[in-house]
């Protein structure tokens, strides 16, 4: 029998683990000693803590919005999207229309609604304008959201300044990435991202460059695609032509906490390592062959390899519909020779194709899972290979104030 065809391991899904106390965390940089116990914390299957109703019930959806989604920080853009003063972009976040603007080098986010007669300040997805100006009657606003120039301002006497300001949202950056919180007083972004703040800040900058953005929506609860990123069990069924396999248990390392979880693994197939490392070295970077998957609870995923950086966010628009936003950077490296430029171009093309293909293989299954959940009479079960989902369930239930039963 012919040996199995090798797959290019540019974008991997990996097995993972469940919540454990901080003092039981496995340190990802520690090599596994011979005879060390299995990486999976649980040696038996786990109870599916969420019930089917948690994926479509209106009341629980509003609890999630209020208690775990709206208070958080959400990636909305990168500085490269609005590099010049006056550049702006618009988007919806949990039903809020937002306008993110470069104001003389400072990034500010406003509700995209004029204080005059409620019109959207702009209907454009992105653009440039010297002033923050409403498209309808020309009201202008400062970077603080206060009114500036108003046509025929005298007809508005006496002036009610307190009710003539734009609503403004907290905005912070982590490296080149721009985050927004809809909460009035959110915790600082650095605290929210935790120990991974520095890693994120250093991941989406040189020697990596923006390569691809993608947005799609599908008829499924937001937790379904999040859970999909946390397990590799589906790979042989959904990704036969791309990923093909998941790494063996002995090559998987993880760090776990209440607000996030991280998985790390290394490529082990020699032919893939040789191909990837040749490209990385041509670009002037020393390869490590590490793959890192990091979930910041509840809905933001960061993925890193030697050749790419990927961020995915899952934004619910209803109990049974989700918008997925993807942002990818690929390695460019410090070398600028003709060979290096060709290698960077090839790397970008292949990486985009692989990631698009893998995500395209995932998306169709989400609607099927949603349909099953809405009629299921099963309690559900989580295998040890999927145990990272168990930690995610704990976070959701605890954040929503529901009681957690760990018994099987």
pLDDT score at 12: 34
Distances in Å between the Cα of 180 and the Cα atoms of 126, 162, 169, 207, 312 are 17, 23, 7, 25, 15
pLDDT score at 401: 92
| Identical fold between 22-72+210-399 and 74-174 | no
* 320 class by beta-carbon count within 10 Å (0-12 exposed, 13-18 middle, 19+ buried): buried
For the chain, domain boundaries: 22-72+210-399, 74-174
pLDDT score at 9: 32
Chain Cα centroid distance, residue 291: 16
Count CB neighbours of 274 within 10 A: 9
Q: How far apart are CA 271 and CA 70, in angstroms?
A: 45
Question: What is the CATH code of the structural domain delimited by 74-174?
Answer: 2.102.10.10
> Which two tokens mark 104?
């003389």
Which of 3.90.1150.10, 3.90.380.10, 3.40.50.720, 3.40.50.2300 would CATH assign to domain 22-72+210-399? 3.90.380.10
> Which two tokens mark 134?
């409403």
Q: Tens of pLDDT along 140-170? A: 999 999 999 999 888 888 877 777 899 999 9
> Which two tokens mark 309?
């950086």
Beta bridge partners of 141: 132, 147
> Given CA atoms 56, 370, 75, 390 in this order, what sign does their dihedral have?
positive
Which H or E run contains 7?
A: none
Residues in the chain, pLDDT under 50: 1-38, 408
pLDDT score at 1: 38
> Given CA atoms 306, 307, 311, 312 in this order, what sign does their dihedral have?
negative
Q: How far apart are CA 308 and CA 73, in angstroms?
A: 23
Give the three-state DSSP class for 323: strand
């Amino acid at each position: 029998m012919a040996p199995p065809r090798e797959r290019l391991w540019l974008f991997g899904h990996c097995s993972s683990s469940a919540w454990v106390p901080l003092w039981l965390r496995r340190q990802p940089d520690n090599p596994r000693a011979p005879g060390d116990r299995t990486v999976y914390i649980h040696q038996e299957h786990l109870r599916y803590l969420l019930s089917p109703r948690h994926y479509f019930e209106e009341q629980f959806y509003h609890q999630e919005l209020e208690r775990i989604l709206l208070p958080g920080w959400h990636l909305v853009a990168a500085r490269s999207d609005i590099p010049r003063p006056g550049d702006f972009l618009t988007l919806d976040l949990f039903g809020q229309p937002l306008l993110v603007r470069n104001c003389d080098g400072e990034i500010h986010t406003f509700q995209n609604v004029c204080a005059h007669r409620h019109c959207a300040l702009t209907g454009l997805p992105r653009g440039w304008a010297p002033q923050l100006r409403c498209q309808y009657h020309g009201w202008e606003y400062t970077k603080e959201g206060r009114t500036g120039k108003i046509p025929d301002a005298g007809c508005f006497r006496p002036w009610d300044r307190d009710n003539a300001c734009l609503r403004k949202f907290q905005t912070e950056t982590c490296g080149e990435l721009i985050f927004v919180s809809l909460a009035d007083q959110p915790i600082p972004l650095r605290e929210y991202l935790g120990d991974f703040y520095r890693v994120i800040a250093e991941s989406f900058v040189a020697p990596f460059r923006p390569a691809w953005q993608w947005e799609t929506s599908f008829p499924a609860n937001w937790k379904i695609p999040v859970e999909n990123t946390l397990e590799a069990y589906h790979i042989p069924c959904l990704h036969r032509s791309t990923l093909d396999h998941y790494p063996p248990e002995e090559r998987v390392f993880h760090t776990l906490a209440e607000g996030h979880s991280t998985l790390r693994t290394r490529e082990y197939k020699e032919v893939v390592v040789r191909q990837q490392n040749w490209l990385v070295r041509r670009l002037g970077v020393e390869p490590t062959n590490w793959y890192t998957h990091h979930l910041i609870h509840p809905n933001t995923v960061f993925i890193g390899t030697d050749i790419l950086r990927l961020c995915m966010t899952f934004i619910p628009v209803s109990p049974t519909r989700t918008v997925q936003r993807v942002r990818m950077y690929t390695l460019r490296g410090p070398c600028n020779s003709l060979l290096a430029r060709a290698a960077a171009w090839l790397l970008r093309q292949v990486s985009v194709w692989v990631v698009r293909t893998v995500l395209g293989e995932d998306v169709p299954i989400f609607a099927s899972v949603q349909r099953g959940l809405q009629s299921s009479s099963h309690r559900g079960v989580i295998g040890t290979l999927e145990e990272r989902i168990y930690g995610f369930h704990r976070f959701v239930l605890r954040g929503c104030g529901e009681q957690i039963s760990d018994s099987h």
